[in-house]
Amino acid sequence: MNPKIMIVDDDQKLCDLYRAVFTAQGYKVCVAQNGEEALTKVTEEKPDLVLLDIMMPNIHGLHILDIMKATPEVSNTKIIMLTALSDEQTKEKAMAYGATDFIVKSETTMGEVLERVQKALTRG
């Protein structure tokens, strides 16, 4: 069965892009455009991997990460954090909270994103 990926980002363009790319690669894709939506959808959809943006209105990405990791049904789901600006402190925090990887959107090419998603999914 093809892995399911959930994309959480408030930027419509990026959501569309990721949806198109991942779908083309054969993944199942679902999208949430804010934190609340992400938290309800994640238990319904039970994705294999979540691409989670850090800078979102209302709920901070790290907070969502923390909640997801504390929710038993999805605590094993791989979560890759997405961020606009590289910031080592945030990265360290995210990794400590249990994120699988940390991608700086603007510095990473689509090829790399795909590679890292694949790697996260194959890693146990």
Partner 1 sequence: MSNDKVREVMSDGFLQDIKKAQYISAATAASSVILTILVVTITPISAEAVRNVWLIGALTIIFTAIYYLVPGIYFDKRLTLFPDVVYTVAIVTIMKNLGEWGYLYIIFFLIIIALNSFVYNLKNFILSTIVILFGVLFSLLPIAISLNVFFYKLAFELYGVVALAIVLRLFATEALRYKAKKDELETLNRHLALEKYEITNLFDSISDIIISLDTKGRVILLNEKAASVFSLDKKKMVGKKLENYVNLVGQKGPFNFSEAISCQRGKSLFRNDLELIGEKETKSFFCTITPLHDENEVFQGSIIFMHDATKEEELEKKKEEFTAIASHELRTPLAVIEGYLHFLLTNNDLKYDGETKKYLNIIHESALELIKLSKDILLTTKSEAGTLELTIEKTDLLKLLKEVMKEYSSKINDKGLKVTITTKEKALEIKTDKAKLKEIVINLLDNAIKFTEKGSITISLFKTGGEAVLSIKDTGIGIAPEAQKLIFQKFYRAEDWQTRATGGSGLGLYVCKSLAERLGGQINFQSKKGEGSVFVLSLPLAFSKKKRLASNKKSNNILESLLKNF
Residues engaged in binding partner 1 (CB under 8 A): 11, 13-14, 17-18, 20-21, 24-25, 84-89, 91-92, 105-114
**Cβ nearer to partner 1, comparing 34 with 108:** 108
Helices of type H across the chain: 12-24, 35-45, 61-70, 88-97, 110-122
- DSSP 8-class letter at 26: T
Minimum Å distance from CB 44 to partner 1? 27
Minimum Å distance from CB 62 to partner 1? 16
**Cβ nearer to partner 1, comparing 18 with 32:** 18
Per DSSP, what are the bridge partners of residue 53? 82
- Alpha carbon 109 to chain centroid, angstroms: 16
Pairwise CA distance, residues 118 & 92, whole Å? 22
**Cβ nearer to partner 1, comparing 72 with 111:** 111
| CA-based torsion, 57, 119, 18, 85: positive or negative | positive
**Cβ nearer to partner 1, comparing 37 with 92:** 92
Minimum Å distance from CB 17 to partner 1? 4
Minimum Å distance from CB 111 to partner 1? 6
